[in-house]
């Protein structure tokens, strides 16, 4: 969230930064949490995920692209479900392991390195799946949705958020969205059709663009409030470049070019 993985796809580098106290303070301001999150899922949205997934103590939840454990670990803590965190960067997963330990959740948490496009679990292993802004960070969107369906039991529920370009953009607007948004924000077609094509039925789709915009604004405001210490940490040039990047994203939202959506889908 705070360290622009979008611009370079360097997720491992972004997790090295996101664990630092100065960056966690920004995360707290922007999202209301301190897990080292890199998506735009807020603390309030986690309550909505618990409800929409109907999570409970018997649920087997898979968080794909789980990073440092956000939001999977909090979902597990709030609902007492069993949680499997799947992602690729080992530094993120080891932060997640430390957090699971310090929250006393190690008995209910499994942490696995692997790709959401080749999930290292057998068919029908999970009854709940979540992913936060992951589909806009990888090109193989349909493959990941198909893989998530393969490991989902019939009638399993999946919640995910995704950042996407608005419909009907000019070539120039599209170019700006591709340059400024998450690394693989572009898609052929739309997510509702991809869900259908991968064996999921859309239960609900909510526009969460305004919450995303508010988080970005709180983040930008935080970079002003804590400018001195952030300059010490990152250097002035880097801080200004990161802030400008977030301001560009706010502009794209305000001009109606970029959106964030939250889906709930049920396995057919
Ligand atoms: C925007 S971050 C979200 C991370 C975390 N869920 C959070 O909310 O902080 C997207 C995550 O997707 C992961 N990712 C990208 N490609 C992936 C793939 N093929 N399989 C699994 N995870 C992937 C990245 O490593 C990154 O941690």
- Reported as a single tens digit per residue, the pLDDT across 87-111 is 999 999 999 999 999 999 999 999 9
Given a cut of 50, the residues of the chain with pLDDT beneath it are 1-8
pLDDT at 202: 98
pLDDT at 155: 98
Percent of the chain predicted with pLDDT > 90: 93
pLDDT tens-digit map of 28-40: 999 999 999 999 9
CB of 137 closer than 6 A to ligand 1? yes
Whole-model pTM: value is 0.95
Q: Output the CA 87–ligand 1 centroid distance in Å.
A: 6
CB of 132 closer than 6 A to ligand 1? yes
- Report yes or no: 160 and 263 within 8 Å, Cβ to Cβ: yes
Q: Output the CA 162–ligand 1 centroid distance in Å.
A: 11
pLDDT at 18: 87
Looking from the CA of residue 15, the nearest atom of ligand 1 is 27
pLDDT at 227: 97
- Report yes or no: 130 and 62 within 8 Å, Cβ to Cβ: yes
Nearest protein CA to atom 1 of ligand 1, as residue: 39
Looking from the CA of residue 133, the nearest atom of ligand 1 is 1
For 119, what's the count of Cα atoms within 13 Å in the CB-facing half-sphere?
Answer: 27
Chain-centre distance for alpha carbon 230: 24
Q: Output the CA 228–ligand 1 centroid distance in Å.
A: 30
pLDDT at 6: 40
Which residue among 72, 134, 135, 145 has the greatest number of ligand 1 atoms within 8 angstroms of its CB, and so is best to mutate?
134
Q: Output the CA 64–ligand 1 centroid distance in Å.
A: 7
Q: Output the CA 175–ligand 1 centroid distance in Å.
A: 23
Does the domain spanning 5-267 belong to CATH 3.20.20.70?
A: no
């Amino acid at each position: 969230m705070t360290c622009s993985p979008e611009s370079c796809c360097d997720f491992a580098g972004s997790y090295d930064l996101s664990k630092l106290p100065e960056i966690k303070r920004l995360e707290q301001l922007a999202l209301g949490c301190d897990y080292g999150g890199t998506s735009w899922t807020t603390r309030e949205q986690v309550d909505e995920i618990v409800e929409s997934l109907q999570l409970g103590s018997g649920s087997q939840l898979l968080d794909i692209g789980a990073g440092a454990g956000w939001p999977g670990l909090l979902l597990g803590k709030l609902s007492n479900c069993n949680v499997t965190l799947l992602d690729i960067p080992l530094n993120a997963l080891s932060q997640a392991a430390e957090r699971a330990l310090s929250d006393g959740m190690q008995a209910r948490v499994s942490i696995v390195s692997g790709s959401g496009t080749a999930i290292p679990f057998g068919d029908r292993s999970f009854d709940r799946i979540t992913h936060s802004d992951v589909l806009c960070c990888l090109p193989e969107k349909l493959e990941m949705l198909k893989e998530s369906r393969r490991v989902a039991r019939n009638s399993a529920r999946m919640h995910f958020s995704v950042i996407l370009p608005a419909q009907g953009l000019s070539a120039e607007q599209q170019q700006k969205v591709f340059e400024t948004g998450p690394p693989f924000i572009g898609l052929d077609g739309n997510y509702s059709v991809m869900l259908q094509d991968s064996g999921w039925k859309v239960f609900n789709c909510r526009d969460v663009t305004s919450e995303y915009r508010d988080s970005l604004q709180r983040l930008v405001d935080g970079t002003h409030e804590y400018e001195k210490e952030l300059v010490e940490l990152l250097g002035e040039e880097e801080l200004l470049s990161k802030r400008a990047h977030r301001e560009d994203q706010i502009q794209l939202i305000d001009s109606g070019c970029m959106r964030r959506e939250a889906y709930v889908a049920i396995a057919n």
